[in-house]
């Protein structure tokens, strides 16, 4: 794909960190393009540099090499064209669902009536109609993540960028929430970049999946997921789905094993072998 067809371009991203044990390269020469309306996922084992890339693309980290651009414009710092959803709980417990979703609109100075109307629209979109006046503490974890999603979507970002948004949820909730995200993505034609370590989730939702290596995080492969749309979680039982999962697991197994050995030798080095 020519870079000019892309809405998001990551070009030769390199991130190094200074650590107590010396410098490490967390992300090494990662380049990819995302097309308008595409659902693109980045998958890799824990510690391979996914969140580091998330922070670079979201403009939260600036000491990297390489360039991120959205619709031809280079990103320097947080940018309204990119809406981020984090793994951690990020709702405000003291605000109702409506006031959570309307919060970023409040910051832009939008009039109260208009932002409440906009918030209600996105609350409905994520399937939380009827919960407008509830507080996050009254909702399940999956519902709270939908509040976060509605809040991010309400700013109408060009790119929806999510870092393991469902990692804290059980597998059934995760699959059903995946359906919801797919429906919304189709409806809004929302360009989406999902960061995950979950193979099922990545195959269920993506048009393409970028598989990362472990340490340093490089591009191992980009896989086209040629499954019909619209999709739902029913697709996980199909043979074609199983083949994609197997193919990606083949790639990831090696990387995950390296990550595990790395952690083990680290533990040994620091704590010594146990008796
Ligand atoms: P992932 O999200 O894939 O689990 P991260 O991007 O969080 O991985 O981390 C990649 C590597 O970079 C890890 O080895 C991690 O310890 C290291 N790292 C991440 N952030 C920092 C930081 N601020 N300082 C030092 N090392 C970091
Ligand atoms: Mg992470």
| pLDDT per residue as tens digits for the range 193-231 | 999 999 999 999 999 999 999 989 999 999 999 999 988
Which residue has its alpha carbon closest to ligand 1 atom 5? 49
Ligand of minimum distance to the alpha carbon of 60: 1
Of ligand 1's atoms, which has the minimum distance to the CA of residue 163?
Answer: 2
CB 95 within 8 A of CB 58: no
Which residue has its alpha carbon closest to ligand 1 atom 7? 51
Q: What is the pLDDT of residue 272?
A: 63
CA distance between the termini of the chain:
56
| Residue range(s) defining the domain that contains residue 67 | 1-81+157-169+183-226
Ligand of minimum distance to the alpha carbon of 164: 2
Number of folded domains in the chain?
1
Which residue has its alpha carbon closest to ligand 1 atom 23? 17
37: CB partners within 8 A, 6+ apart: 189, 190, 191
Q: What is the pLDDT of residue 94?
A: 97
228 Cα: distance to centroid of ligand 1 (angstroms) = 35
Q: What is the pLDDT of residue 275?
A: 46
Of ligand 1's atoms, which has the minimum distance to the CA of residue 49?
Answer: 6
Q: What is the pLDDT of residue 262?
A: 84
Predicted TM-score of the model (pTM): 0.92
Q: Which residues of the chain have pLDDT under 50?
A: 275
Residues having CB within 6 Å of any atom of ligand 1: 17, 19, 26, 44, 46-52
125 Cα: distance to centroid of ligand 2 (angstroms) = 27
163 Cα: distance to centroid of ligand 2 (angstroms) = 7
86 domain residue, yes or no: no
Which CATH number covers residue 213?
A: 3.40.50.300
Q: What is the 3-state secondary structure (H, E, C) of the chain?
A: CCHHHCCEEEEEEEEEEEECCEEEEEEEEEEEEECCCCEEEEECCCCCCHHHHHHHHCCCCCCCEEEEEECCEECCCCCCCEEEECCCCCCCCCCCHHHHHHHHHHHCCCCHHHHHHHHHHHHHHCCCCCCCCCCHHHCCHHHHHHHHHHHHHHCCCCEEEEECCCCCCCHHHHHHHHHHHHHHHHHHCCEEEEEECCHHHHHHHCCEEEEECCCCECEEEEEECCCCCCCCHHHHHCHHHHHHHHHHHHHHHHHHHHHHHHHHHHHHHHHCCCC
Q: What is the pLDDT of residue 4?
A: 63
267 domain residue, yes or no: no
44 domain residue, yes or no: yes
68 domain residue, yes or no: yes
189 Cα: distance to centroid of ligand 2 (angstroms) = 26
Of ligand 1's atoms, which has the minimum distance to the CA of residue 164?
Answer: 2
88 domain residue, yes or no: no
Of ligand 1's atoms, which has the minimum distance to the CA of residue 52?
Answer: 6
128 domain residue, yes or no: no
215 Cα: distance to centroid of ligand 1 (angstroms) = 10
187 domain residue, yes or no: yes
Of ligand 1's atoms, which has the minimum distance to the CA of residue 217?
Answer: 10
102 domain residue, yes or no: no
Which residue has its alpha carbon closest to ligand 1 atom 22? 17
């Amino acid at each position: 794909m020519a870079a000019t067809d892309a809405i998001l371009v990551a070009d030769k991203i390199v991130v190094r960190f200074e650590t107590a044990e010396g410098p490490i390269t967390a992300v090494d020469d990662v380049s990819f393009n995302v097309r308008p309306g595409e659902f693109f996922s980045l998958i890799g084992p824990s510690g391979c540099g996914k969140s580091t890339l998330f922070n670079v693309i979201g403009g939260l980290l600036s000491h990297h090499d390489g360039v991120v651009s959205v619709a031809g414009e280079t990103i320097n710092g947080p940018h309204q064209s990119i809406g981020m959803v984090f793994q951690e709980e990020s709702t405000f417990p003291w605000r109702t669902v409506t006031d959570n979703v309307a919060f970023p609109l409040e910051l832009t100075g939008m009039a109260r009536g208009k932002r409440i109307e906009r918030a209600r629209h996105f609350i409905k979109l994520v399937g939380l109609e009827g919960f407008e006046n509830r507080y996050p503490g009254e909702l399940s974890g999956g519902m709270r993540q939908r509040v976060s999603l509605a809040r991010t979507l309400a700013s109408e970002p060009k790119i929806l960028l999510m870092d393991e948004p469902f990692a804290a949820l059980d597998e059934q909730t995760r699959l059903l929430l995946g359906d919801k995200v797919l429906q919304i993505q189709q409806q809004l034609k929302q360009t989406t970049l999902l960061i995950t370590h979950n193979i099922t989730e990545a195959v269920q939702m993506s048009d393409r999946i970028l598989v990362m290596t472990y340490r340093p995080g490089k591009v191992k492969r980009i896989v086209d997921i040629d499954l019909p749309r619209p999709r739902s979680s029913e697709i996980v039982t199909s043979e074609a789905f199983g083949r994609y999962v197997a193919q990606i697991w083949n790639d990831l197994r090696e990387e995950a094993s390296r990550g595990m050995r790395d952690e083990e030798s680290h533990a040994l080095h620091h704590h010594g072998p146990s008796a």
